[in-house]
Structure formats: C-alpha cells, structure tokens
Amino acid sequence: MSIKLLGEAFDPWRELQRHQAGNPQLAGKYGATSVFVGTMRDFNDGADVERMVLEHYPAMTQKHLQAIATEARSRWEILDTLIIHRFGEIHPNDAIVLLAVWSAHRRASFPACRYLIEELKSRAPFWKQEISGEDARWVTHNTPG
Amino acid sequence: MSIKLLGEAFDPWRELQRHQAGNPQLAGKYGATSVFVGTMRDFNDGADVERMVLEHYPAMTQKHLQAIATEARSRWEILDTLIIHRFGEIHPNDAIVLLAVWSAHRRASFPACRYLIEELKSRAPFWKQEISGEDARWVTHNTPG
Amino acid sequence: MSITVKFFASLRETVGKDEAILDPARAQTAQQAWEAATDGREMPANTLIAVNMEYAGADAAVTDGDEVAFFPPVTGGGGDVLR
Amino acid sequence: MSITVKFFASLRETVGKDEAILDPARAQTAQQAWEAATDGREMPANTLIAVNMEYAGADAAVTDGDEVAFFPPVTGGGGDVLR
C-alpha cells in the first residue's frame, strides 16, 4: 500500500512500472490490475484557463488517503494499492491522480478502484483554483461523474 | 482505437506510454483513463503448471475485438480504446490482456473498461492450455469474476 | 469451389485435424459441414460454431466460399483463476 | 497551551489568514474556535470542519493541543469537468 503526494508532474505509467518493479513479492500473485488516471483537460468552452493550482491540507490528505485505502482493503480482497495525487501547479494534460489496485480477481479490482476515486473525490481535502493570466478562480464543486 | 495481438511478452505500462505518445491529438481531451490488465498467476494450489499456451483464431479474434470496441464506443462517450491480447507461450506474471479506455469523464471510462473485459472473456476465440513438464491440459472454462 | 472447415483447441485434438476442405455440395448447414468433415462423428454438446467469423447455430446455412469453425468454450483474457 | 485554527482555499482568502493560534480558554467547540479566530464573522453555509484531521460538526469539542481546520467543499481528483 503506497500513497504519494507529488508537487511535480508525473508519468502514471512509469509510476506503475516502478511500483511493480519495487514489489517483486506481488509477481505471480495478482491476476487483475485496475487503474484509474484522472487528467487535467483543456478548457475548450472558450475560457482561456492556462493552468490550475491544487491546494491541499497535507497531514489530513495523507491520513484520509490512507483511510480510504484501508477501507477498500477491508471490503475487497486486495493484494496492493497505489495512490498518487498531485498538488501545486498543474497544466493541461497533466495527470492529477493515479489509483491502482492489484488483486487475484477482477471482481475485486474493478469495484475497489471505483471506490477509491469516489471516496477520494468526496473526502480528500484538495481544492482546485483555475488560473487565467492574472485571474484566479476557485473551483467550487466537483461534478459527480 | 487500436487492437494488437502479440506473440511475445509485453509491458502493459510501456504500451500505454507508447499509445499516448503516438496519439498527441488526445492530449488535453481526456479527463479519465480506465485500465485493466489481466496477468498470469502462479499456480499455488500444489499443481506445478509452468506455463500456458494460448491458442486463438486470428481472423475471428481481430474481428471480434474490433466489434467489442465499436460496441463500447456506441454505448459510452469514449475518445479512444486500446486492446492488447497475448497469444502463444505465456509464463507466470506475464500480462495476458490490456484494456484501456480514454474518455472525458470517469462515468464513461469505468463501465466501458469493465464491458470490454467481460465481452472479451465471453466472446473472443482464445483457448488456454496449461503445460506441466510433458503434460498439457486444456482449461475448460473461464471463471465469472 | 469449397467450404473451409476449421477446428480449434481441444476440438482440434478430438477430431485429429485442424482443417478440412469440403465440396460445397456436401453441406448446406454448419451441422452437415461438421459431419462431412469428421466422418459422421457426434458433435460435443458445448461446441461453439462460427460461420465466416461470426457465431452461428448448428442449422446456420453454409455455402461455397464460407469458412466454418468449430471450437470449445473460449478461455481468453486474464484476471481469474484457471482451476 | 493553545488551539491551532487553520483555513484553506477560498475560506483562507475570505478570512484573510491561513492560521490562528487560540488560547484554549476561548473555545470549547469548533464553532467557538471559528468565532474567536475570525473576530465573530459568520461561517459560510457550506464550510467543512476537521478536528485533528477528522471531519467534525460545528459543535465538536475542541481542547488544548487540538488542530481545527475550516475549508470549502473539496475538489480534488480528476476525470470530471471543472466548469
């Protein structure tokens, strides 16, 4: 179970490679890996948002991501989880969050991965601010899906 | 939409990197990527299966994977899909199948990814044979989950 | 002028061949193609049939130029127990 | 001997500070900690409260050594529309 909060851009696929390479005890044990990557989109409705700043409450973030992962492990038979979340300045096409679940079977990995992102979005203390030139505007709510 | 049938081991994370790098038109358009990787497990119930051989019906496989991906695109708002499936000799910890869905929202990527693996497992013409020394035994059915 | 019959996986081993080429006059349905290609052997109960790469029933029509395939339940993918 | 009060995101900008240190005698609940730290300002309706990094209500008890945080609805993660 690994949780990372990163202040710089990351490549989700390289992080997954690294995680598996660093956990050789998992090899041959998992049949199913479910992954979700949330990425910053372009703003193509005419607004010229250039970037976002993602603020968080570090001690609480760490604690809540840990709690969410632990809760997932109590609900499903999971071998390992990896959670990576960005903070700080984020640009279009940057990965914001990576969630991965390794399990013997896909009947565990799929719902656990979905659970992680839904819980993270509703509970983890992160706040997005859109930046356009000199203008900064707080995002007031997450969309449900 | 990309479908690959591979006769040799592949690194699913490198394939995802490559696919995204090769499709720069996707950048900034997707907010959600859902991935499933099915991997060969060790046989830890005492049986000493060393490897598998995965046979398929190439023309039909290609056609059915294409049909499954097209069906997913008609059901959900998907920007891109990647399907990679191994055939031939497979060893424990080898990735067997990789499914990835890129979409604007996770409400599309999650169910579409699940749909792809369930349809693939019930329809795509692949057959697994377990090999132990001189012994070869056909796997007679997939488990549901 | 022929119908191509293909056998896969355990069924290939059961019938002892991977392919047969039939005179189209010998089979108007997938069932008849099976019988002509296997010398009248009984078709195992769980056999799947594809005509021109699409799943079909035993009574599906077959005609000159068609490819008819017979195979056991599929077991592709990953992420499940094998035994 | 103190209670630490923290403000995040838009609420930090609204109250004009990111942190206040209170004499524990000034607040027995999160609500009282808010009032003491903001000079009696009204708490916005959708404010979330955490006491020692756990979500809590406005009437949650606070005591010496506690950390009380106030913040707007969370908007982390990815994979959704931002506007």
List the one residue out of B137, B40, B134, B144 whose CA is nearest residue B87: B40
Reported ipTM: the value is 0.92
List the one residue out of B98, B97, B86, B90 whose CA is nearest residue B6: B86
Q: Tens digit of pLDDT for each residue in A114-135?
A: 999 999 999 999 999 988 888 8
What gap in Å lies between CA D2 and CA D26, rounded to an integer? Answer: 10
Closest chain C CA to residue B127: C75
- Which candidate from C55, C69, C72 shows the least CB-CB separation from B127? C72
Residue D81 lies in a domain: no
**Interface contacts (A, D; CB < 8 Å):** 104
* Both structure tokens of B145: 């989950």
Amino acid code (one letter) for B72: A
* CA dihedral angle for residue D16, residue D21, residue D27, residue D30, rounded to 10 degrees: 60
CA atoms within 13 A on the CB side of D20: 22
Closest chain A CA to residue B34: A36
Global pTM exceeds 0.90: yes
C-alpha B65: how far from chain center: 9
* D72 backbone dihedrals φ, ψ, rounded to 5°: -80, 175
What gap in Å lies between CA D41 and CA D17, rounded to an integer? Answer: 13
> Which residues on chain D are in Cβ contact (under 8 Å) with A121?
74, 76-77, 80
How many structural domains is chain D composed of? 1
Higher pLDDT pick, C81 / A32? A32
Mean pLDDT of A29-41: 95
Q: Residue A103, Cβ neighbours under 10 Å: how many?
A: 25
pLDDT at C82: 41
Q: Does the pLDDT at position A23 exceed 50?
A: yes
What gap in Å lies between CA D50 and CA A75, rounded to an integer? Answer: 25
- B105 interfaces chain A, CB cutoff of 8 Å: yes
> Which residues on chain D are in Cβ contact (under 8 Å) with B32?
78-80
What is the C-alpha end-to-end distance of chain C, expressed in Å? 44
Reported confidence tier of residue A40, pLDDT bands at 50, 70, 90: very high
Q: How far is CA D20 from CA A42, C15, D17, D34, in A?
A: 38, 82, 8, 10
Q: Which residues of B100-118 are buried (b: 16+ CB within 10 A; e: fewer)?
A: bbbbbbbbbbbbbbbbbbb
Domain that holds residue A126: 2-138
Element (H, E) at A25: none
DSSP strands (E only) in A9-142: 32-39, 51-56, 80-86, 88-90, 95-103, 126-132, 135-138
Exposed, middle or buried, C65 (CB in 10 Å: 0-12/13-18/19+)?
Answer: exposed
Mean pLDDT of D36-45: 96
pLDDT at A141: 73
pLDDT at B144: 55
Residue B80 lies in a domain: yes
| Average pLDDT over all residues of chain A | 92
Strand partners, B80: B102
Residue A36 lies in a domain: yes
Helix, strand, coil % in chain B, rounded to nearest 5: 35, 35, 30
- Which candidate from A29, A36, A110 shows the least CB-CB separation from B106? A36
Mean pLDDT of A53-72: 96
Q: Tell how strand C3-7 and strand C19-22 pair up.
A: antiparallel
Mean pLDDT of A61-73: 97
Reported confidence tier of residue C80, pLDDT bands at 50, 70, 90: low
> Which residues on chain A are in Cβ contact (under 8 Å) with D18?
none
Residue D28 lies in a domain: yes
Residue C51 lies in a domain: yes
Mean pLDDT of D29-57: 97
C-alpha D10: how far from chain center: 12
Residue pair A40/B27 in contact by the 8 Å Cβ criterion: no
Best residue in A48, A96, A126, A132 for a mutation probing chain D (most D CBs within 10 Å): A126
* Both structure tokens of A130: 């859109």
Residue C20 lies in a domain: yes
pLDDT at B143: 60
Best residue in A3, A139, A143 for a mutation probing chain D (most D CBs within 10 Å): A139
Instruction: Specify the CATH number for the domain of residue A94.
Output: 3.90.1170.40
Q: Does the pLDDT at position C81 exceed 50?
A: no
pLDDT at A134: 84
What gap in Å lies between CA D35 and CA A31, rounded to an integer? Answer: 54
Q: Tens digit of pLDDT for each residue in C38-75?
A: 999 999 999 999 999 999 999 999 999 999 999 999 99
List the one residue out of B34, B18, B15 whose CA is nearest residue B110: B34
Q: Do D77 and A64 touch (CB under 8 A)?
A: no
How many structural domains is chain A composed of? 1
List the one residue out of D54, D55, D57, D69 whose CA is nearest residue D29: D57
Where helices occur in D6-75 by DSSP H, the ranges are 9-15, 30-37
Residue D83 lies in a domain: no
Residue C82 lies in a domain: no
Strand partners, A56: A126
* CA dihedral angle for residue A113, residue A115, residue A116, residue A122, rounded to 10 degrees: 150
Mean pLDDT of D30-48: 96
Amino acid code (one letter) for D40: G
Residue D34 lies in a domain: yes
> Which residues on chain A are in Cβ contact (under 8 Å) with B28?
40-42, 92-93
* Both structure tokens of A108: 């565990």
Q: Tens digit of pLDDT for each residue in D5-21?
A: 999 999 999 999 999 99
What is the C-alpha end-to-end distance of chain D, expressed in Å? 44
Rg of chain A over Cα atoms, rounded to whole angstroms, equals 16
pLDDT at B119: 95
Residue C36 lies in a domain: yes
Closest chain D CA to residue B31: D79
Reported confidence tier of residue D82, pLDDT bands at 50, 70, 90: very low
Element (H, E) at A109: helix A106-123
Best residue in C54, C55, C66, C80 for a mutation probing chain B (most B CBs within 10 Å): C80
Tokens 């250039």, residue located? A50
Q: Does the pLDDT at position A96 exceed 90?
A: yes
Domain that holds residue C51: 3-71
Please report, in tens digits, the pLDDT of each residue of chain B (145 residues total): 899 999 999 999 999 999 999 999 999 999 999 999 999 988 645 566 788 999 999 999 999 999 999 999 999 999 999 999 999 999 999 999 999 999 999 999 999 999 999 999 999 999 999 888 888 889 887 665 5
Cβ-based interface (< 8 Å): residues of D facing B = 78-81
% residues pLDDT > 90 (chain D): 88
| Average pLDDT over all residues of chain C | 93
Instruction: Specify the CATH number for the domain of residue D38.
Output: 3.10.20.30
